[in-house]
């Protein structure tokens, strides 16, 4: 059933491509090439002399949300596109054709269970902006607060499911028949994308994302996140504080306001790395349509983000791996990069580390310390792809959202300030984070996390000692020494003794360190004892 739906959708995609005179995309696509006969069955209905960028944009709009999102992502990389195509695709960021206002009002009436005019003091019927998943209306709450009302497009789930069918079928074919299928893991990639885009359809989830990001940047002078008005939010409706700022893509307005463009670009890089490594919660849809700039103080411009439907996070292992890779790159330690790839299992274990090191050096060295304006990322990406093929590097689906976001951030930085030194800006943020992971602060945090275990161990310590003494005095420990059960008990008792030993040291060090710091005022000695306690607590963890 899914295959039939997917095949019908593929024919529909081809019909749209032909309609807009994009036949060359079909002839260039291996899978679609056998269907060229449809050129005669479905003659084009649009003059192909119209600008190519306009035809691509219109085709993506007609094909639906997933295709529009692809256009939005690509539109952020003007360095990789002809100017006319980039200009047209930029319209997909916030100028997708809206759906009728009557449908929006019907959605709101059903969501609230009463007429929209009873909910808001003012509701502007004319859409303020429209995108692939939803459209925006402006309104005023009964208390006079100006807000935006985001309304989900009717039928959008069905459209997305239809295109996901196509992606699943294509991924299955690639996984089964393509020589690089196992390495690129297409089925897992599609599953990760499906989870992301389906989550985006729940506007209550988006509201929660916005609230979480706002807490993370509370009091920040670099990023402002609008307030969520929970009483008005529903799964298909999001009501949020209205932002008054300059769209980040309006460079003329930013310059006219005297904005410090260099500071703005550098702050953008720091915000991204802060979200990924310090907060482990990042806005993953940072195209220009979702970003405004508040220029109350032009020397200290402040970002204002909207649209929090797509966010990402990484597990601790992936996050640390990425940070170490970035830092190794900043230090030009290409052997370290190669070793990290081997240790993580992302390349086969029999890979010669010096060969991988040479390949990484060949790609990275030419771009090191260059501003964005002097880097051809199209060439860099092609070289990295060849390296990945040569060494059978496995795609990590959990990283794709991060890669997409970094792709957008780098493109945005290039547009804002081409002289931006991406490496110089990002290095201090990563260095601070790594220091926090392995320094005294990290040890204290780990110790605080293990304090309940330490307290419990100390409470049970007298009983455990008495039991061990009784067993030793009766000689019962020595009975049936060769039986598996006794060997297991011996191992468990040894583990318990080791754990209690280290936890006792940890507790003693913590208590003594705290007393030394608070009563004797010796901060350095106190910190040393607390650090010792942290190490002892780690050593005393139960074996996994």
Angle between helices 334-344 and 353-364 (to 10 degrees): 130
CB 133 within 8 A of CB 152: yes
Residue with tokens 């790839």: 341
Q: What is the DSSP letter of 151?
A: E
444 Cβ contact list (under 8 Å, min separation 6): 530, 531, 534
Distance CA 118, CA 146 (A): 16
CB 338 within 8 A of CB 357: yes
What pairs with residue 122 in β-bridges?
A: 140
How do 246-247 and 291-294 pair as beta strands? antiparallel
233 Cβ contact list (under 8 Å, min separation 6): 203, 204, 207, 239
3-state secondary structure of 154: coil
3-state secondary structure of 438: helix
C-alpha radius of gyration, the chain, whole number:
29
CA terminus-to-terminus distance, the chain: 45
**Cβ atoms < 10 Å from Cβ of 322:** 17
CB 231 within 8 A of CB 198: no
How do 302-305 and 223-224 pair as beta strands? parallel
Residue with tokens 């597990």: 315
Q: One of 94, 163, 165, 285 is an active-site residue; which one? A: 285
Is 285 one of the annotated active-site residues of the chain?
A: yes
CA distances to 94, 151, 183, 202, 354 from 136, in Å: 10, 6, 41, 15, 54
Instruction: Indicate if the alpha-carbon torsion angle 107, 111, 116, 122 is positive or negative.
Output: negative
Distance CA 1, CA 393 (A): 34
Distance CA 301, CA 12 (A): 46
CB 190 within 8 A of CB 168: yes
Q: Which of 448, 196, 147, 430 is nearest to 308 (CA)?
A: 196
Distance CA 161, CA 198 (A): 9
In our burial notation (b when 16+ CB lie closer than 10 A, e otherwise), range 238-260 reads: bbbbbeebbbbbeeeebeeeebb
Q: Which residues are catalytic?
A: 285
């Amino acid at each position: 059933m899914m295959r039939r739906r997917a095949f019908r959708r593929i024919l529909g995609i081809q019909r749209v491509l032909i309609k807009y005179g994009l036949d060359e995309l079909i002839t260039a696509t291996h899978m679609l090439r056998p269907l060229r006969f449809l050129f005669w069955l479905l003659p084009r209905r649009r003059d192909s002399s119209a600008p190519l960028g306009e035809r691509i944009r219109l085709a993506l709009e007609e094909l639906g949300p997933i295709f529009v999102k692809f256009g939005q992502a690509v539109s952020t990389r003007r360095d990789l596109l002809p100017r006319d195509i980039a200009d047209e695709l930029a319209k997909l960021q916030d100028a997708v054709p809206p759906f009728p206002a009557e449908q929006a009002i019907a959605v709101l009436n059903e969501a609230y269970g009463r007429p929209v005019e009873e909910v808001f003091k003012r509701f502007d019927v004319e859409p303020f902006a429209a995108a692939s998943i939803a459209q925006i209306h402006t309104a005023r709450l009964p208390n006079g607060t100006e807000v935006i009302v985001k309304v989900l497009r009717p039928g959008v789930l069905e459209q997305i499911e239809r295109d996901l069918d196509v992606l699943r079928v294509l991924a299955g074919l690639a996984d089964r028949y393509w020589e690089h299928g196992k390495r690129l893991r297409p089925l897992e990639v599609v599953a990760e994308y499906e989870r992301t885009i389906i989550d985006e359809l729940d506007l209550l989830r988006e509201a929660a994302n916005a609230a979480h990001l706002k807490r993370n940047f509370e009091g920040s002078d670099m990023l402002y996140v609008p307030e969520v008005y929970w009483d008005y939010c529903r799964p298909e409706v999001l009501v949020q504080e209205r932002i008054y700022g300059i769209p980040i893509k309006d460079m003329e307005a930013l310059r006219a306001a005297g904005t410090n463009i260099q500071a703005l670009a550098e702050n953008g890089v720091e915000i991204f790395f802060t979200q990924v490594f310090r907060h482990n919660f990042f806005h993953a849809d940072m195209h220009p349509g979702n970003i405004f700039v508040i220029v109350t103080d032009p020397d200290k411009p402040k970002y204002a983000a909207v649209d929090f439907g797509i966010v990402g996070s990484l597990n601790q292992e992936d996050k640390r791996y990425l940070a170490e890779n970035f830092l190794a790159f900043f230090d030009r330690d290409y052997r370290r990069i190669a070793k990290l790839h081997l240790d993580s299992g992302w390349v086969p274990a029999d890979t010669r580390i010096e060969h991988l090191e040479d390949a990484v050096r060949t790609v990275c060295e030419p771009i090191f310390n260059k501003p964005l304006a002097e880097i051809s990322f199209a060439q860099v990406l092609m070289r990295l792809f060849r390296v990945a093929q040569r060494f059978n590097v496995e795609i990590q689906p959990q990283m794709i959202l991060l890669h997409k976001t970094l792709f957008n951030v780098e493109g945005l930085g290039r547009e804002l300030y081409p002289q931006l030194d991406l490496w110089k800006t990002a290095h201090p943020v990563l260095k601070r984070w790594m220091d926090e992971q392995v320094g005294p602060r990290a040890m204290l945090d780990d110790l605080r996390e293990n304090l309940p275990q330490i307290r419990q161990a100390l409470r049970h310590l007298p009983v455990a000692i008495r039991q061990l003494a009784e067993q030793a005095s009766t000689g019962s420990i020595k009975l049936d020494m060769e039986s598996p059960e006794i060997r297991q008990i011996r191992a468990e008792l040894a583990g318990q003794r080791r754990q209690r030993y280290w936890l006792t040291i940890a507790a003693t060090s913590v208590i003594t360190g705290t007393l030394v710091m608070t009563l004797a005022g010796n901060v350095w000695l106190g910190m040393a004892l607390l650090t010792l306690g942290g190490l002892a607590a780690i050593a005393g963890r139960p074996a996994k």
